[in-house]
Homo-oligomer: A and B are copies of this chain.
């Protein structure tokens, strides 16, 4: 009765599979059929009608198959219903049904990895343990792959952004960093949700026991197990194992976030330092320009069409020119050394005003001297 219904679904699934991957189907179809005589891998393309049939078959409620949460893991009426992002599956003691698998990039994994893995007879553990392990391992691998994809890009981008030689951050790299930082946040949320769904099962011993499907259907399997282990304990270990793997991924993601924050501080300090260095250079040049303007004024004064007493003195030109250049050079040096002292001692800038007074005196003395 039950098996007949399942066969129907299997046939339906294979037809769908043929449509989607027409060439590879021919050799895969038989493989599944031959090597999994009892452990059926049923791929099911979700249609409302079929779904209702499936519910009645497994005496589930329609609501149980709605898969409203992106990550969930629940035991219901001797079935484990789970969803890991794209992967929606129902796990009974004898079969694993994967729903809605098309167009999600899961075919390869389902056919090439999951099927042989479930078909291998070497394990002594019941079917649901092996199926759950395969699915959780796949989920953790997916999370790890996403982290492995994001991590080197972020590390490279940060490496080149914190390079102290660069004057301005390369904005295309900032964009890359922002994108990957967003991916990292999403990954962190997914890891957290995966951990939460595991924890919800692990927190209550009863729920863990409900997950041992074989225990309820076929007590013989349990006794046959030569190791004499407790099924619930075994299940707890299995779930805990993947919980801890997810936690390690979460730790790595958190460290990466911290590194981004630290690097951003370093980038800011770098940019600020560059700016300060440039500003100092700018200030030094402004001092030079100021000195030149100040003593250039003397030259402008002598260029006026007004009568001075020196028009015909042949030494006057060299004296005044020399004074202009030497004077501006000397003033510049004084300003530079003033700047050096000023920045080191960080005296409040009121000193500047007294300093400008000495400058005024210098100017006055210039005039006196030139007079």
Chain A positions near chain B (C-beta within 8 angstroms):
61, 63, 68-70, 72, 162, 164-165, 167-172, 174-175, 177-178, 181-182, 185-186, 189, 192-193, 196, 227, 237, 241, 244-245, 247-248, 251, 254-255, 258-260, 262-290, 292-297, 299-314, 316-318, 320-322, 324-325, 328-329, 332-333, 336-337, 339-340, 342-344, 346, 349-350, 352-353, 356, 359-360, 363-364, 366-367, 370-371
Find A296's partner among B182, B277, B297, B360 (CB 8 Å cutoff).
Answer: B297
CB-based contact B290/A285 at 8 Å:
yes
Contact partner of A306 among B247, B266, B302, B356, CB < 8 A?
A: B302
Which 10 A-B residue pairings sit nearest by Cβ, starting from the closest?
Answer: A164-B171, A302-B304, A168-B273, A299-B300, A306-B317, A303-B303, A301-B321, A271-B272, A169-B273, A292-B293
Please name all residues of chain B whose beta carbon is closer than 8 Å to the beta carbon of A349 when the two chains form the complex: 167, 277, 280-281, 284
Please pick, from B258, B292, B300, the residue contacting A185 in the complex, using a CB distance under 8 A.
B258
Q: Do residues A297 and B292 form an inter-chain contact, with CB atoms below 8 A?
A: yes
Report the separation of the CA atoms of residues A167 and B340 in the bound assembly, to the nearest whole angstrom: 10
Closest residue of chain B to A189 (Cβ to Cβ) is: B251
The reply to whether A284 and B321 form a contact with Cβ atoms under 8 Å apart is no
User: Which single residue of chain B is at the shortest CB-CB distance from A317?
Assistant: B306
Residues of chain B contacted by A182 (CB below 8 angstroms): 255, 259, 262
26 contacts between A and B (CB under 8 A): A61-B227, A69-B244, A69-B245, A164-B172, A165-B343, A167-B280, A168-B274, A168-B276, A168-B277, A168-B346, A178-B262, A178-B263, A182-B259, A264-B265, A268-B272, A280-B349, A283-B285, A297-B325, A302-B306, A304-B317, A305-B305, A306-B320, A307-B313, A307-B316, A325-B364, A337-B353
The answer to whether A175 touches B193 (Cβ under 8 A) is no
